[in-house]
Structure 1
Amino acid sequence: MKHLKDLDFKYKRVLVRADFNVPIENGDIKDDFRIRLALPTLEYILNQSRSKIVVISHLGRPDGKIAPEFSLKPVSEMLSTLLKKEVKFIADIKSSEGDTAIRNLSDGEIALAENIRFYPEEEANDEKFSIDICHHFGAYVNDAFSASHRAHATIAQIPRWKPSCAGFLMQKEIEELSKALKPAKRPSMAIIGGAKLETKLPVIENLAKIYDVVLLGGRISVEAKEKNMKFPQNVVLPEDFADDNFDIGPKTIQKYILAISAASFVVWNGPMGKFEDETYREGTDRVYEAIVSSDAWKIAGGGESAEYINSKKGAGKFDFISSGGGAMLEFLSGKVLPGIKALEDSQ
């Protein structure tokens, strides 16, 4: 797989696939975490002589239709503020106006195209659509690790047609999560919480082969106990739960804190309970405190975990925080992500 420094971007239009799937309410961006993560890649390319960039991204699930509430226009304004330069907005990348806007970009300019999921061809992984999107560009950069578990046109198809590479964020995600698949320190521990047991089962099964201990919490642990599911001996289920099963109980909290204090390598994905409700936050709070106070190598990820850590201003207390939710889970389950495979196969 090629990285940013392997390609020459001079004199080229560069198409960058980012993940700007950020929470927006009434036009206001509530968390710019994912936008900031893209800045090093964009700044690096813009610093190459006479290069110009068009960024494409998705936002939400508009189901292949134009939906104003999923517009990326607020993101273009935020990106402009963060880059300290104008970011042009392309309202329809497939239109003749969009075509003209791309061709008329001056050296050093950057534009953001409207939500790529407004086009049904994106999620259909349509080959012709991918060719139409990228035909004006001399290079393609995938910096959207968190969307790279999707076999979508701008993720899985474009590397077939253009010189392609991973952006700095994509490269970092692969390097750090690869460490999580081969923990260098022992004892090693994975902590898996949240919901969607069927999604997380392959991860639990794979990590149980790699890690000394796997602690379960959140809704997945409630479901597993209700279904009387059997796991390998090193997978630990809660002994007790708080009222209504919305958090792990006091005995489990103490047991998990003790286990975490003995670990030298910790991967955490998913809260221990319904943390957004103060009543059911203690399990997640105490597990988080145990992780950040330990001397272990610490990796966290998943949308809810990242949201929680950011709310505690705790990002600097982890060695790495993945931007991926489903992508991180699929990577840790041992699957090859379509976006990564496309870059590896690209000429």
Structure 2
Amino acid sequence: MNKKSIRDIDVNGKKVFIRVDFNVPMDENQNITNDKRIRATLPTLNYLLEHNAALILACHVGRPKGQRVPELSVKPIVKRLSELLGKEVKYAEDCVGEAAEKAAADLKPGEVLLLENLRYHNEETKNNPEFAKQLASLADVAVDDAFGVSHRAHASNAGIAQYVEVVAGFLIEKEIQFIGTALSNPQRPFVAIIGGAKVSDKIGVISNLLEKADAVVIGGGMANTFLAAQGKGIGSSLFEEEKLPLAKELLAKAEEKGVKVFLPAEVVVADKFAADANHKTVSVDEVPADWMILDNKFSKECEDAVKNAKTIVWNGPMGVFEFDAFAKGTEEIAHAVAESEGTSIVGGGDSIAALKKTGLSDKISHISTGGGATLEFLEGKPMPGIAAIADK
């Protein structure tokens, strides 16, 4: 995707509207508990400040559904962003209307303004043209750096492009570069690793990747459905019975296309769903009738395929990762991905948490900032936020 970025425009002395993803977790006292998303945009913000722009930032927090919910205010973010940038960040008590217009008009090059929660207005998620026009009127140019909402057609990332040119910030540019290239022109062998609880959540992703990958590793709870589709006994494990025909269909599609599918060779089974459950490792052909599969272990052939891959996409854990006894499969995959010398792309909260836990994050080429956005990108669905960015 050949999209314009902030490098391609002159921002000197200009007011720049920037859609960021600052939807950060906060505790009951509105203290930010993880500022990773704020930090991720600092390269974009610092570049624009160094090039003498005035920055007007817009974001959402939570789902206030058009109401002014005090607990979902951006005020705690104003404070944290000021600390991270080492300069005062101004605050506007609304994102449109008189307060926003005056704050934006008074803003000088080198200054930063954060507008109040976009989703205090239903017009944002409804992509209301008049609302988008009001946002656009605050600035000379717009920057989209919020990959986490790029699968949504909202006023601040899609509608605004009707009224002002939108270019990519460094964060969204990196997502397009890594994930876009993996899907359109991957270096081979290309291995996709898909985990998580349900096949139904990732049908489109698996189906799309079967068109593009050389091998697909399927783990997590969804592997139970595929094992059952192969006629394996899965004991009392949770699986999606109604998806058995689909699992068979996907396995047949893989065979037809010559795509190698790796399912678990061994599984860790437990006598109950609990951190302290009795557990043991057994072959996939020997799952006890009244035990459940809570973790997956893969063959050496699978491990080698991952290590030797030139492109890897990983989304979703291999087991019940939150219980230490059932985190080993995910950790083993994390090590295999980290040992690959190819391009590795990891998305999804649990996969990222596994990397962090194993201290392997710096061995990964790209850790995606999007949850649902990453999945929809991998699925090949339209991405309205990306489509709205001007082409070069």
TM-score (norm 1): 0.91
1:3-18 matches, within 5 Å, as 3-18=5-20
Please, which of 318, 326, 336 is the counterpart of residue 272 of structure 1?
Answer: 318
Partner residue of 2:206?
204
1-side partners of 2:90 and 2:205: how far apart?
Answer: 41
- Name the aligned partner's letter for residue 206 of structure 2: I
Q: CA deviation at 1:195?
A: 3.5
2-side partners of 1:271 and 1:336: how far apart?
Answer: 25
**Could you say what secondary structure the match of 1:154 adopts?**
coil
**Contact 1:267-1:300 within 8 A present in 2 as well:** yes
Name the % identity.
39
Partner residue of 2:87?
85
Partner residue of 1:179?
181
2-side partners of 1:188 and 1:99: how far apart?
Answer: 49
Moved more, 15-24 or 230-239: 230-239
Q: CA deviation at 1:54?
A: 1.0
**Contact 1:246-1:274 within 8 A present in 2 as well:** no
2-side partners of 1:67 and 1:220: how far apart?
Answer: 37
For residues 75 and 6 of structure 1, do their structure 2 counterparts lie closer, same or farther at Cα, with a shift above 3 Å needed?
same
Q: CA deviation at 1:240?
A: 5.0
2-side partners of 1:140 and 1:246: how far apart?
Answer: 49
| Gap regions ≥5 residues in structure 1 | none
| Gap regions ≥5 residues in structure 2 | 229-238, 274-291
Q: CA deviation at 1:285?
A: 1.2
1:309 and 2:352 are equivalent in the alignment:
no
Moved more, 215-224 or 27-36: 215-224
1:328 and 2:331 are equivalent in the alignment:
no
TM-score (norm 2): 0.81
Q: CA deviation at 1:144?
A: 0.8
2-side partners of 1:223 and 1:69: how far apart?
Answer: 41
For residues 45 and 217 of structure 1, do their structure 2 counterparts lie closer, same or farther at Cα, with a shift above 3 Å needed?
same
**Could you say what secondary structure the match of 1:58 adopts?**
coil
Q: CA deviation at 1:182?
A: 4.2
1-side partners of 2:301 and 2:262: how far apart?
Answer: 10
2-side partners of 1:319 and 1:161: how far apart?
Answer: 35
1:1-347 matches, within 5 Å, as 1-25=3-27, 26-49=29-52, 51-182=53-184, 184-224=186-226, 225=228, 226=239, 227=241, 228=244, 229-230=247-248, 231=250, 232-233=254-255, 234-242=260-268, 243=270, 244=273, 245=292, 247-250=294-297, 252=298, 256-344=302-390
Deviations 1:84-112 (A, max 9, x none): 11111222122422322221112211011
Deviations 1:127-173 (A, max 9, x none): 11111122121110001112100111111100110022111111111
Moved more, 75-84 or 196-205: 196-205
For residues 267 and 64 of structure 1, do their structure 2 counterparts lie closer, same or farther at Cα, with a shift above 3 Å needed?
same
**Contact 2:334-2:354 within 8 A present in 1 as well:** no
1-side partners of 2:16 and 2:78: how far apart?
Answer: 17
**Contact 2:262-2:302 within 8 A present in 1 as well:** no
**Contact 1:247-1:282 within 8 A present in 2 as well:** no
**Contact 1:247-1:283 within 8 A present in 2 as well:** no
For residues 59 and 312 of structure 1, do their structure 2 counterparts lie closer, same or farther at Cα, with a shift above 3 Å needed?
farther
Q: CA deviation at 1:253?
A: 6.4
- Name the aligned partner's letter for residue 126 of structure 2: A
Q: CA deviation at 1:16?
A: 0.1
2-side partners of 1:344 and 1:196: how far apart?
Answer: 36
Moved more, 89-98 or 152-161: 89-98
**Could you say what secondary structure the match of 1:304 adopts?**
helix
2-side partners of 1:35 and 1:189: how far apart?
Answer: 31
Kindly name which structure, 1 or 2, has the bigger radius of gyration based on alpha carbons: 2
**Contact 2:220-2:296 within 8 A present in 1 as well:** no
**Could you say what secondary structure the match of 1:153 adopts?**
coil
1-side partners of 2:36 and 2:293: how far apart?
Answer: 27
CA RMSD across the alignment: 2.2
2-side partners of 1:68 and 1:314: how far apart?
Answer: 38
**Contact 2:331-2:358 within 8 A present in 1 as well:** no
For residues 294 and 307 of structure 1, do their structure 2 counterparts lie closer, same or farther at Cα, with a shift above 3 Å needed?
same
Deviations 1:290-329 (A, max 9, x none): 2212333321112332233234443211111111121111
**Could you say what secondary structure the match of 2:313 adopts?**
strand
Aligned residues: 344
For residues 255 and 65 of structure 1, do their structure 2 counterparts lie closer, same or farther at Cα, with a shift above 3 Å needed?
farther
